[in-house]
Amino acid sequence: MEKTRPLAAVTGASSGIGETFARRLAQDGYDLLLIARRRERLERLAAQLPTTAEVLAADLVQDADLNAVAARLASEPRLELLVNNAGYGTKGHFWEAAGQVEMHKLHVIATAALTRAALAGMAGRRRGAIVNVASVAGFMQNPANVSYCATKMWMNSFSEGLWLEMKNAGLPIRIQSLCPGFTWSEFHDVMGVDRASIPKSWWTTAEFVVQESLRGLEQDRLFVVPGWRYKIIVWLFSWLPRRSQHAIMLKYGARGRKPR
């Protein structure tokens, strides 16, 4: 008799890091729930995967869509991995740039709702994992990137709390905050940032980010920061006094991010 395959749910699976997670997890033998707004992109991806992939077209900023996806996760006994990856960045000051409140809904509210829906079942089964795709930006604050840094910082803190809670409850469920730096995807097109403004050596690929995440999951690592440059930056920022962090960000932080 054929063994039942584990199931992974990936939000933001229609491009970039989420799509790469889906491809890699399918190769590793997971069935997939592919979640994002662009149904046709998800359907095209599902047709290319070697395992069974179901498309859940959803705008996770909308309560009805979010509740429907959460209900589906809560009812799925095979769910072994949830990747909260859907996200975007913006350019410009908080009071001027569009999409600020929606960003908090997507990065914070949707992550909390889907994690809660997934974790209840995982806790009962005593197995599973959650990957929250945060960012190097979640270790700092930055003018003209305020909501992004704040919501990714929340994801780091949320993941850390859950990681501790799993240990405290004696549950073997893995929690990870994945913190990439600049990664090739559609992210910078959506944000309207010219990639040429960022030195070539700072870019990583989505394949590398996903590989590091899955390696980190095997080792139960809470924070996964792919790439040595970004590891150094995160380490430095954790040691620098607030005043020095602010001086650096006021000088360099808002480059290329000012409103058009």
Report the nearest approach of ligand NAP to the CB of residue 166 (Å): 22
Identify which of residues 33 and 171 has a Cβ nearer to ligand NAP in the complex: 33
Q: What value, to the nearest 5°, has the Cα angle with vertex 227 and ends 225 and 229?
A: 100
Identify which of residues 17 and 144 has a Cβ nearer to ligand NAP in the complex: 17
Identify which of residues 123 and 205 has a Cβ nearer to ligand NAP in the complex: 205
- Cα four-point dihedral sign 111, 258, 208, 19: positive
Q: Rounded to an integer, what is the distance from CA 47 to the centroid of its chain?
A: 24
Identify which of residues 61 and 171 has a Cβ nearer to ligand NAP in the complex: 61
Report the nearest approach of ligand NAP to the CB of residue 67 (Å): 13
Main-chain phi, psi angles of 16, to 5 degrees = 55, -135
In the chain, beta strands by DSSP E: 7-11, 31-36, 53-57, 79-84, 129-133, 174-178, 223-224
Report the nearest approach of ligand NAP to the CB of residue 135 (Å): 4
Q: How far apart are CA 174 and CA 116, in angstroms?
A: 14
Q: Which of 55, 175, 36, 168 is nearest to 115 (CA)?
A: 175
Identify which of residues 128 and 181 has a Cβ nearer to ligand NAP in the complex: 181
Burial annotation 170-208 (CB, 10 A radius, 16+ → b, else e): ebebbbbbbbbbbbbbebbeebebeeeeeeeeeebebeb
Q: How far apart are CA 39 and CA 43, in angstroms?
A: 6
Q: Is 236 helix (H, G, I), strand (E, B) or coil?
A: helix
Catalytic residue among 30, 148, 230, 252: 148
Report the nearest approach of ligand NAP to the CB of residue 155 (Å): 9
- Residue ranges in contact with ligand NAP by CB under 6 A: 11-18, 36-38, 41, 58-61, 85-88, 106, 133, 135, 180, 182-183, 185-187, 190
Report the nearest approach of ligand NAP to the CB of residue 12 (Å): 3
In the annotation, is 252 catalytic?
no
The set of catalytic residues is 148
